[in-house]
Structure 1
Amino acid sequence: MIDEFLAGDLGAVEEAVRAAVAEQVMPRFRQLAAHEIVEKQGPHDLVTTADRQAEEQLTDALGKLLPGSVVVGEEAVHADPAVLTALGGDAPVWIVDPVDGTRQFVHGDPGFATLVTLAHREELLASWTYAPVLGLMATARRGGGALLNGEPVHSGSPEPGTPLHVAISHYDFTTDAEKRTLSGLRAPGIEARPCGSAGLEYLNVARGQLDGVAFTWENAWDHAAGLLLVDEAGGAHSTLDGKPFRITGGNALPFTAARDEAAVRHILGLLADAG
């Protein structure tokens, strides 16, 4: 079933993503009322009506496109953490972040995206990263490469002798211990900055506009789409213990994704030394 689905035209998935964003997200961009914004676990962890409605629409649409599949969405997991167990199950699973970069969305910043990934038995198979205001749709298929607005995209390698530009977990979301580890990237030859939307940072790596990312959290909906996109664009990724990222969790953190293997090794080395 899953092989037949992947062998076909996945354009219907892109259409479903675009439709959910057009109907549930964009009408609320820069139009949110106060009651449509709610704190989840603090002032920096927000959810809006757009997040909830877009996830509901995607859950319905994606389930119909692939009968027997299940959906693990950020808001569904927040409501019921048991939903996460589907990531390790036998059914194909859609991993959905309806608005990645909710804080940016709330503040009227165009730097947000909708992320959808199809996985099966913990393997990432296909992904969609859609930034509607920026006019960007990036897709990846396992073994099939990465596309940006329909054109092949390649990460390339950092320019020799130039600093590595790395986006790291935002200070507002890190513990003191995580800050100490990330301080390893305050090193000669590294220019680190706080990340925005994780999905868009991965896209920046995939298109060679950013050399790497280093993150301290492992929510599958934030990372699955981008990790596949970077890998299929020719980049690489690894957790701190040198293993691939597992969507089911339990990863050695921080982890990194970068434009090539050499950049991954360099970033991980600095993080390990600081930790």
Structure 2
Amino acid sequence: MAELDIAALANALQEAAATEILPRFRKLGDGDVRMKSEAIDLVTEADEAAEELIRQRVAEAMPDAVFIGEEAVAADPALLDKIADADLAVIVDPIDGTFNYAAGLPLFGVMLSVVSRGETVAGIIYDPMGNDWLIAEKGSGAWMCGADGSQAQVAVAPPVPLDQMVGIAALTYMETAAKRQILANLAEVRLFTSYRCSAHEYRTFAAGHLHFLMYKKLMPWDHLAGTLISQEAGAHVARLDGSPYLPHNFEGGLLLAPDRESWQELRAKVFTL
């Protein structure tokens, strides 16, 4: 694999936010927001402009990498097929939490992952509002990095009993009957919610402030960076059938917990059908 310049990639996300995302925040006109698949699946001109800037910077830093952006895939779904076999692929979500961004809520992020021969080897989640990055390279731990050069290693929360667990359950794309069952099961935990922004959900979980994350829909730009970061922070991560989550997996649901035992209890008592 070509040498990975994680700093250059992190800087690209910051530049995109500074030049394309933040200047448009709370200033979008009616024609700047469009619906994609449904009313809660939006794209803005900021998404498209940020993705193009990041694409240019990735081409400069990693010219041999296949670039796969969320908005590029919306235009050409066949791009997804390149993830499994690419020697090197960079996968980008230019604005994760577009619904929040378009609504003027300061809860959105920019995400990038690097995949080499079917394995995620690096992940970055940048928070434009806080101007900091959560970064992991495989085997090197997960780190919160500030614009002032500060670095602090992060770790998932210690395990707690089921009735004390707080977490995220994203059930939007689940069938109604399954959703009803899981919503009833979620009475067993202390609290569940959804930020409608996986970037901040992963950041909060990896930094030790949540005990579980559960997702039904698995688009790579939403989950590859966050799952690697969470694993490097000590989490147990698997699809709902217990199999590993890999970059070419687009179905099967996903569950993260602080350790294997917590994962198994959540799967058996909450996320079971």
Normalised by the size of structure 1, how large is the TM-score? 0.91
Cα displacement string for residues 146-172 of structure 1 (whole angstroms, at most 9, x for unaligned residues): 00122111113134575111211154x
SS at 2:221's partner residue?
helix
CA displacement at 1:265 relative to structure 2: 1.4
| CA–CA separation in structure 2 for the residues paired with 1:182 and 1:162 | 15
| CA–CA separation in structure 2 for the residues paired with 1:19 and 1:181 | 44
Match of 2:39 among 34, 43, 55: 43
Q: 2:206 is aligned with what amino acid?
A: A
Aligned-CA RMSD value: 1.8
| CA–CA separation in structure 2 for the residues paired with 1:39 and 1:161 | 38
**In structure 2, what is the equivalent of residue 212 of structure 1?**
212
Q: How does 1:227-246 map to 2 (within 5 A)?
A: 227-246=227-246
**In structure 1, what is the equivalent of residue 134 of structure 2?**
138
| CA–CA separation in structure 1 for the residues paired with 2:207 and 2:185 | 22
**In structure 1, what is the equivalent of residue 155 of structure 2?**
154
| CA–CA separation in structure 2 for the residues paired with 1:96 and 1:259 | 26
**In structure 2, what is the equivalent of residue 167 of structure 1?**
168
Against the structure 1 CA distance between its residues 237 and 181, is the aligned structure 2 distance closer, same or farther, given a 3 Å change threshold? farther
* Unaligned segments of structure 2, at least 5 residues: 146-150
Against the structure 1 CA distance between its residues 68 and 272, is the aligned structure 2 distance closer, same or farther, given a 3 Å change threshold? same
Q: Which ranges of 4 or more aligned residues in structure 1 deviate by more than 4 Å?
A: none
> Once structures 1 and 2 are overlaid, which stretch shifts more, 137-146 or 160-169?
160-169
CA displacement at 1:178 relative to structure 2: 4.3
| CA–CA separation in structure 2 for the residues paired with 1:180 and 1:26 | 38
CA displacement at 1:13 relative to structure 2: 1.2
Is 1:16 the equivalent of 2:17? Answer: no
Against the structure 1 CA distance between its residues 181 and 214, is the aligned structure 2 distance closer, same or farther, given a 3 Å change threshold? farther
Against the structure 1 CA distance between its residues 184 and 31, is the aligned structure 2 distance closer, same or farther, given a 3 Å change threshold? same
- Tell whether the 8 Å contact from 2:235 to 2:257 is kept in structure 1 after alignment: yes
| CA–CA separation in structure 1 for the residues paired with 2:181 and 2:249 | 19
Identical positions, percent: 30
Q: How does 1:112-127 map to 2 (within 5 A)?
A: 112-127=108-123
| CA–CA separation in structure 1 for the residues paired with 2:125 and 2:271 | 30
Q: 1:19 is aligned with what amino acid?
A: E
Cα displacement string for residues 233-261 of structure 1 (whole angstroms, at most 9, x for unaligned residues): 111111111111122125423x2112222
> Once structures 1 and 2 are overlaid, which stretch shifts more, 216-225 or 179-188?
179-188
| CA–CA separation in structure 2 for the residues paired with 1:115 and 1:131 | 9
Cα displacement string for residues 42-72 of structure 1 (whole angstroms, at most 9, x for unaligned residues): 1111000000111111111112211210111
SS at 2:266's partner residue?
helix
- Tell whether the 8 Å contact from 1:112 to 1:197 is kept in structure 2 after alignment: yes
- Tell whether the 8 Å contact from 1:178 to 1:216 is kept in structure 2 after alignment: no
- Tell whether the 8 Å contact from 2:171 to 2:179 is kept in structure 1 after alignment: no
| CA–CA separation in structure 1 for the residues paired with 2:106 and 2:90 | 25
CA displacement at 1:190 relative to structure 2: 4.4
Normalised by the size of structure 2, how large is the TM-score? 0.92
Against the structure 1 CA distance between its residues 118 and 178, is the aligned structure 2 distance closer, same or farther, given a 3 Å change threshold? farther
CA displacement at 1:17 relative to structure 2: 1.1
| CA–CA separation in structure 2 for the residues paired with 1:23 and 1:250 | 32
Q: 1:139 is aligned with what amino acid?
A: I
**In structure 2, what is the equivalent of residue 73 of structure 1?**
69
* Unaligned segments of structure 1, at least 5 residues: none
**In structure 2, what is the equivalent of residue 256 of structure 1?**
255
CA displacement at 1:130 relative to structure 2: 0.6
